[in-house]
Structure formats: C-alpha cells, structure tokens
Amino acid sequence: MSVRVVNSLKVPDLTLQPLSILVLHGPNLNLLGQREPGIYGSLTLAEINHLLVAEGKKLQVEVSPMQSNHEGVLVDTIHQALGKHQGILINAGAYTHTSVALRDALAGVNLPTVEVHLSNIYRREEFRHHSYIAPIAIGQISGFGVQSYLLGLQALVHHLRKDKG
C-alpha cells in the first residue's frame, strides 16, 4: 500500500487504491447472443462480461458483473454496493423505462453511475425513449453494441480518477 505524508503523518494514499466497479445487467440480458441479434448483436452476456473484466484489467480496476431478471435483486445489489464499489455501470434493460425503484436505489447510494444500452434506445419504440436512470446518472451511452459497455466503463473510471486527483 502506498502512503503519503499529510501534516507530518503517514496516511494511506487512497488515490492509488484500486477502484471497483459494479456492472449491472437487467432483465433478458441473459439471453444475449440468441435474443434479437439484429438489435442486440451476437455476443453472449458471458462474452460481454469477459470483455469488461479484460478492459478493467487494462484500466487497473476490478469489474464485478451481475445480471438479474428481478427488480428487487437489482435494488438489493445496488444497496450492497455501498462501501464495496466506487461506481456503477448499468444496463437496466426494460427497467430503464419503468423502474422508479432502480432510480431511487441508485440515487440513494449516490455512487457515480453510467447508463449503457447496446441499441440506440432513441431510434426504437417511443416507450424506450424515456429513462428513469438518465437524470441521476453522470452519463448515458447507447447504440454502439458492446462498445457502449466499454466506453461507459472507460468514462466512469476517468470520472472517478478525475475526482480523486
């Protein structure tokens, strides 16, 4: 562990501590690779998670992916992120457009959050144009397939490191 001197005291240098990012995947994302590949691509969720973990290693951050089709499980996981993770990358799937509970959980833990989507939600059905998460997120990336996740992770890590420096 690195230390720095503050007022003649040696204290841990938390700016050099590894960051931990929670990656949340919402409902139906477990079907990636077989569900509407023309919209969501051909990569499976396991392949996307593998790419995120590899990108995390390049960025020197720990990436912890989790998927659930159940809103309450996602809410509980967000609550449990406090004290464990420094940021959240979320593709809430259909809950993006319907879940005040997820929005309130994210606002409640107050961790920097980036919302991502594989497809461009603004070029799809009108009901997908509204996001309950976007107003409390630091940013949103959609429409770039798996790159949405990777760009979101990079942006979140940049944001967290900028705030520490």
Instruction: Find out whether 8 is annotated in a ligand binding site.
Output: no
Q: What is the pLDDT of residues 67-113, one digit of tens each?
A: 999 999 999 999 999 999 999 999 999 999 999 999 999 999 999 99
Q: What ranges do the domains of the chain cover?
A: 25-146+157-164
Which residue in the list 25, 85, 95, 117 is annotated as catalytic? 117
Q: In this prediction, what percent of the chain has a pLDDT beyond 90?
A: 75
132 a catalytic residue: no
Instruction: Find out whether 118 is annotated in a ligand binding site.
Output: yes
For all residues of the chain together, what is the average pLDDT? 90
CATH number for the segment(s) 25-146+157-164: 3.40.50.9100
> Higher confidence at residue 165 or residue 131?
131
3-state SS assignment for residue 78: helix
3-state SS assignment for residue 4: strand
Q: In this prediction, what percent of the chain has a pLDDT beyond 70?
A: 88
Instruction: Find out whether 50 is annotated in a ligand binding site.
Output: no
Residue 88 · residue 99 · CB < 8 Å? no
Return all residues near 39 (Cβ < 8 A) that are at least 6 apart: 118, 119, 124
Maximum alpha-carbon separation in the chain: 60
Q: What is the mean pLDDT of residues 1-28?
A: 68
**Is it the case that residue 133 has pLDDT exceeding 70?**
yes
Instruction: Find out whether 91 is annotated in a ligand binding site.
Output: yes
Task: Provide the whole-model pTM.
Answer: 0.87
- Please report the pLDDT score of residue 37 as a whole number: 78
117 a catalytic residue: yes
Instruction: Find out whether 31 is annotated in a ligand binding site.
Output: no
Which residue in the list 25, 40, 85, 95 is annotated as catalytic? 40
- Please report the pLDDT score of residue 2 as a whole number: 46
Q: What is the mean pLDDT of residues 24-44?
A: 90
**Is it the case that residue 7 has pLDDT exceeding 90?**
no
Cα separation, 28 vs 117, in Å, equals 13
**Is it the case that residue 12 has pLDDT exceeding 80?**
no
